[in-house]
Structure 1
Amino acid sequence: MSEQPYPTLFSPCELGGVPLRNRLAHASIVTRFVKDGEATEALLNYYRSRARGGTGLIVTEPIAMTAWNRVPTRLRAWDDGALDSLQRCADVVENEGTRLLGQVQDSGRGRHAVGRNDGAVGASALPDDLSWTVPRVLSVDDIRRMIDDWADGCRRLKAAGFSGVEISAGHGHLFHQFLSPWSNRREDAYGGDLEGRTRFLRELVEAIRAACGRPFIIGLKLPGDDGVPGSIDLAGAHAISARLAQEADRFDYWTWAWGAHANSLYRHLPDAHGERHPYLDAIRELRQAAPAMASGAIGYLTDPNECETALSDGTADLVFLGCPLITDPAFGRKAESGREASIRYCVSCNTCWRTIIEGTRLECDNNPRVGSADEDDWQPVQVRRPRHVVVVGGGIAGLEAAHTAARRGHRVTLVGASEEPGGKTRLHAELPGGENLSSIYDYQYLAGRRAGVDYRLGEAATADSVLALAPDAVLLATGATAAPPAWVPAEYLEIGAVPDARAMARDMLGRSGREPGRVVLFDQDHTEMTYALAELLTARFEAVSIVTPRERIASDVSLINRQGIYQRLYARGVQLVTSCTPRDLDALEEAALDVVNVYSGAVTRLPDVVAVTYATSRVPDNVLAAPLAAAGIEVIPIGDCRAPRTVLAATREGYEVALAL
């Protein structure tokens, strides 16, 4: 028998008298799989798959327990009305040998969706740093009633079979607001000095312990450096941890979160634009306030090797993964059995965060089956009548369709013009911050290999060459091309004087050094790839200007990613010219570009311009559709060839179309 590759990660431990089979924990993630306060089948599928997939502990999304927080999209625990639903959640997890914790949380004044939080309560009548919501101030009686409600709710969770709870006191939520001198200006017993500002949290822990006794896990997620001036920095986090350590006998583990409901929100979910697992050194220091207390590692950990290191070097006793366990519910089982190559890895794109804030349900760029039955060990139903399916295009929509169709029993041939798989996503992966995107097409390509896909890369498909393959169906995944703006003359396009963003990216990746002058990037795209190119351009030109007809940039990007984009672009000195569009290219003869305000018509001249490029709306490359259809072949456009959209849409559509064949 081979030696366990991650001996610490998959070693058992105990928290609060409750045994855990391993140290892999699922951090709390909102799913939007709750309806009218009760668990849907999708939520039960989600928890079951991750428990069955080898996770040792799962923390639920926040649960509604108080009179102030009866939200229909949260599991109901404010009375016994949904006890059966809570029991079903506990059963699907605990019966697999995994421990289930409910999260205790209230957003307080915090809000990161559009608009303000009309029902907000908080420590003081001070505005939220993002939404500018001013909360109703909680009275002392309100606080005590909330504590009683939470203690009763936790007692119900224990009765339902939960192994414990985690109190979310970071991320800018209510308890964080009480802990911070920036948001807590109270003059009563729950404000003022550190003793007062920690009182709410300490009394809550005491009440939950009294209601639930032992064995019952109580965990704390505390603020690290929240990035808000005058709030909680690392020194402040140390002080809070030291005070709570005085009552360490009342709780069982702690971990720390970065960022807040402010311009630092993006620190909550670090990505490939920064260093990997950036908070572990600080977590190692913070835990010294009570070294015997079990601590959790968290923050941009996506690989089992990183998890093992964080556990074996003294940083932590548990590792909390969120997004990686959305992407692959069997992460634990695969890592424990030495099958790391078959893990579908998280690309840290934060699409999951965007779908739960702006969308209707949790989704993932690299897992089109989130919330489906048997997600952890999905085996597609075999087709009764296999067909020869030809996929034209080697991007992520085509690759997803190819391996899914082949796994169902179809004979699949994939023809791609590029010699390597990945399409435009492969190009994005070469740009700053895009490296993790390779995990999407790497997984798809290898899955296709295992399923028997016949890859014919480096072949430009024509109607005749496709027909020569004698397909029963053709999935057209040939992508899309940026439409040239009206202000670019045809002769400029013919000689490549004004390239589109992808052509510019390929050119810049082949260069080194920094040239004098300004490059202007016209932005009518507003997606991450455009700003990754802008970052690359700052390394190739003295000055970079982004011109967009909208009032801001990155409007097709989640708030958490948009903050990071602004931070990086401003740090690199990029000029943002909003509500403007180039008038024409006449001034290029004078090394300038005239841009006109789309509202006032005012003209501004940008000086020292040596290059212009554009990222615009894309047009499907579907020229093969008509001749193939005329030949009597079933043709199904997918991905950008159907309609230019996102990575999420491409993988999901490739999967769904292949299932329907």
Structure 2
Amino acid sequence: MPAPDVLSPGRIGPVELRNRTIKAATYEGLAHRGLVTQDLVDFHVAYAKGGVGMTTVAYLAVDRDGRTDRHQVYWTDESMPGLRALTEAVHAEGAAVSAQIGHGGPVAEPRGNKAPALAPSKRVNLIAMNASQAATVDDIQRIVAAHGRAASRAIEAGFDAVEVHLGHNYFASSFLSPKVNRRTDDYGGGLRNRARVAREIMESVRAAVGDRIAIIAKMNMDDGVPGGFWLDEAIPVAQWLEADGTVDALEMTAGSSLLNPMYLFKGDAPLDDFAGVMPQPIRTGVKLIGHRLLKSYPYEDGYLLEDARQIRAAVDLPMILLGGITNRTVMDQAMADGFGFVAMARALLREPDFVNQLAADAGKRSLCNHCNRCMPTNFTGTRCVLVDRRTTRSMSWGKPEGYAVPPETR
């Protein structure tokens, strides 16, 4: 069959999108004390108005101790009205909306969560300057079950899909990594054991939602560190997920928020900008050794395509191409190579209406220059600094008009 037009409708599980473009999950930094804010609603409405088929809300932790920031939304009774308001606002603009769910594991923020970060094995996180403890089997079972509950609540909140975070050395991904996972029990050692957490999480989600909403798995192809999870292991894990029947689409990613966060993004590593938003003593650490932890990688359009093709050849599941989607040429190449959808982050931060512009002019190219100065803004409200230099964000959903987030609570 001929390759589909990227601007034609596409289906993921039970959900039909108006086109095949997706706003990729980028942590917005716009929640306040676990609640949706009007700014967070407006953030996603802008992409819906701008023409995407679906926008992805990131990152909605499955439990309190899985948050990577103490203001992050997680699935509580108090957060549900705001999440419903968000999905209704996006739907009113004709787009679908997905909830990225997951547990931070060793990337979680223990000080803000008032709970230890959990990893397969005890380790120190040099980037965040904290330590994680080894998860018990009870911890694993609790977190697996929490994914199912979160997916159920996503249906209640009106989401069309859940994107389960199996990447970046968050909880599930840290178990997949032979570098991070040093366990000797049934969750460590060979690949089948290391993949148990990811598979059990996906089984929990499928059991909770059936086919009522779409289930997307976002999974690493490459941790970007020697001795980490790599493509040779990603291929069989993708095949196992397909055989399990727990996934409607795969989105392949790369990099480790724990060990090599810039590996996914390619382009510049804005060390001064990162240091400027960090509290002490992390700020000093970034200035002293940041160049060792936050590395620059050459950027090129469609930079994950070559590796993602290896997964594409091994499974029949619909796939979403992420990484350097900036123009119609790379989108058309993805469609020709058998990908069903493309996901964009930085291009849409720079131009929220990029899809509408592309529909009007097939020669349109993104204005994003890959400076990556958007990345440190997730501490103050994720944005492209070339067009939006705001440094504070506003109010929790349901608070009186004009309620502002005090800067000292950010």
TM > 0.5 between the two?
Answer: yes
- What residue in structure 2 maps to residue 380 of structure 1? none
TM-score (norm 2): 0.81
- What residue in structure 1 maps to residue 218 of structure 2? 221
- Write the mapping of 1:41-440 to structure 2, written as runs, cut at 5 A: 41-69=38-66, 72-77=70-75, 79-110=76-107, 119-128=116-125, 130-131=127-128, 133-247=130-244, 249-261=245-257, 264-271=260-267, 273-290=298-315, 292-314=316-338, 316-338=339-361, 345-356=367-378, 359-368=379-388
Q: Decide which structure has the larger Cα Rg and report it.
A: 1
Structure 1: distance between partners of 2:145 and 2:374: 33
Structure 2: distance between partners of 1:263 and 1:194: 20
Structure 2: distance between partners of 1:206 and 1:243: 12
Answer yes or no: is the 8 Å Cα contact 2:119–2:135 preserved in 1: yes
For 1:295, the aligned partner's letter is: M
For 1:75, the aligned partner's letter is: V
Structure 2: distance between partners of 1:143 and 1:354: 31
Unaligned segments of structure 1, at least 5 residues: 1-5, 373-661
For 2:71, the aligned partner's letter is: T
Structure 2: distance between partners of 1:366 and 1:270: 18
Answer yes or no: is the 8 Å Cα contact 1:55–1:332 preserved in 2: yes
Answer yes or no: is the 8 Å Cα contact 2:110–2:117 preserved in 1: no
Q: Residues 158 and 85 from structure 1, CA distance in 2 versus in 1: closer, same or farther, beyond 3 angstroms?
A: same
For 2:28, the aligned partner's letter is: T
3-state DSSP of counterpart to 2:99: strand
In the alignment of these two chains, the number of paired residues is 360
Structure 2: distance between partners of 1:363 and 1:238: 34
1:13 to 10, 22, 25: 10
Q: In the TM superposition, what is the alpha-carbon distance from 1:262 to its structure 2 partner?
A: 5.4
Give the fraction of aligned pairs with identical amino acids, expressed as a percent: 27
- Write the mapping of 1:474-485 to structure 2, written as runs, cut at 5 A: none
For 1:219, the aligned partner's letter is: I
Structure 2: distance between partners of 1:103 and 1:75: 11
Q: In the TM superposition, what is the alpha-carbon distance from 1:67 to its structure 2 partner?
A: 4.0
Q: In the TM superposition, what is the alpha-carbon distance from 1:338 to its structure 2 partner?
A: 2.0
String of CA shifts for 1:235-272, please: whole Å, max 9, x gaps.
1222322332322x221111221221355322110128
Q: In the TM superposition, what is the alpha-carbon distance from 1:276 to its structure 2 partner?
A: 2.7
Q: In the TM superposition, what is the alpha-carbon distance from 1:154 to its structure 2 partner?
A: 1.4
Answer yes or no: is the 8 Å Cα contact 1:110–1:130 preserved in 2: no
Q: In the TM superposition, what is the alpha-carbon distance from 1:118 to its structure 2 partner?
A: 7.1
For 2:301, the aligned partner's letter is: R
Q: In the TM superposition, what is the alpha-carbon distance from 1:213 to its structure 2 partner?
A: 1.6
- What residue in structure 1 maps to residue 293 of structure 2? none
Structure 1: distance between partners of 2:19 and 2:184: 45
Answer yes or no: is the 8 Å Cα contact 1:61–1:103 preserved in 2: yes
Answer yes or no: is the 8 Å Cα contact 1:53–1:332 preserved in 2: yes
Q: In the TM superposition, what is the alpha-carbon distance from 1:69 to its structure 2 partner?
A: 3.0
3-state DSSP of counterpart to 1:195: helix
Q: Residues 344 and 182 from structure 1, CA distance in 2 versus in 1: closer, same or farther, beyond 3 angstroms?
A: closer
Structure 1: distance between partners of 2:154 and 2:220: 25
Unaligned segments of structure 2, at least 5 residues: 269-297, 394-410
3-state DSSP of counterpart to 1:228: coil
Q: Residues 182 and 56 from structure 1, CA distance in 2 versus in 1: closer, same or farther, beyond 3 angstroms?
A: same
3-state DSSP of counterpart to 1:297: strand
Structure 1: distance between partners of 2:148 and 2:18: 27
3-state DSSP of counterpart to 2:57: strand
Q: In the TM superposition, what is the alpha-carbon distance from 1:61 to its structure 2 partner?
A: 0.9
TM-score (norm 1): 0.51
String of CA shifts for 1:313-370, please: whole Å, max 9, x gaps.
32x21111001111111111111122755x76211111110222xx422231332288
Q: In the TM superposition, what is the alpha-carbon distance from 1:133 to its structure 2 partner?
A: 3.8
Structure 2: distance between partners of 1:276 and 1:300: 4
3-state DSSP of counterpart to 1:250: coil
Structure 1: distance between partners of 2:168 and 2:217: 12
For 1:289, the aligned partner's letter is: A
Structure 1: distance between partners of 2:158 and 2:203: 21
Structure 2: distance between partners of 1:222 and 1:344: 26
Q: Residues 173 and 225 from structure 1, CA distance in 2 versus in 1: closer, same or farther, beyond 3 angstroms?
A: same
Structure 2: distance between partners of 1:127 and 1:236: 25
String of CA shifts for 1:183-209, please: whole Å, max 9, x gaps.
112222222222211111111111111
Structure 2: distance between partners of 1:159 and 1:13: 24
Alignment root-mean-square deviation, CA: 2.8
For 1:73, the aligned partner's letter is: H
String of CA shifts for 1:379-404, please: whole Å, max 9, x gaps.
xxxxxxxxxxxxxxxxxxxxxxxxxx
Answer yes or no: is the 8 Å Cα contact 2:328–2:362 preserved in 1: no
Structure 2: distance between partners of 1:40 and 1:67: 18
Structure 1: distance between partners of 2:5 and 2:342: 11
3-state DSSP of counterpart to 1:246: helix
Structure 2: distance between partners of 1:69 and 1:111: 6
Q: Residues 129 and 111 from structure 1, CA distance in 2 versus in 1: closer, same or farther, beyond 3 angstroms?
A: farther
3-state DSSP of counterpart to 2:252: strand
Q: In the TM superposition, what is the alpha-carbon distance from 1:308 to its structure 2 partner?
A: 2.2
For 1:307, the aligned partner's letter is: M
- Write the mapping of 1:629-640 to structure 2, written as runs, cut at 5 A: none
- What residue in structure 2 maps to residue 556 of structure 1? none
3-state DSSP of counterpart to 2:303: coil
Structure 1: distance between partners of 2:192 and 2:40: 39
Answer yes or no: is the 8 Å Cα contact 2:191–2:233 preserved in 1: no
String of CA shifts for 1:162-194, please: whole Å, max 9, x gaps.
011111111121111011111112222222222
Q: Residues 72 and 91 from structure 1, CA distance in 2 versus in 1: closer, same or farther, beyond 3 angstroms?
A: farther
Structure 2: distance between partners of 1:75 and 1:88: 14
3-state DSSP of counterpart to 1:224: strand
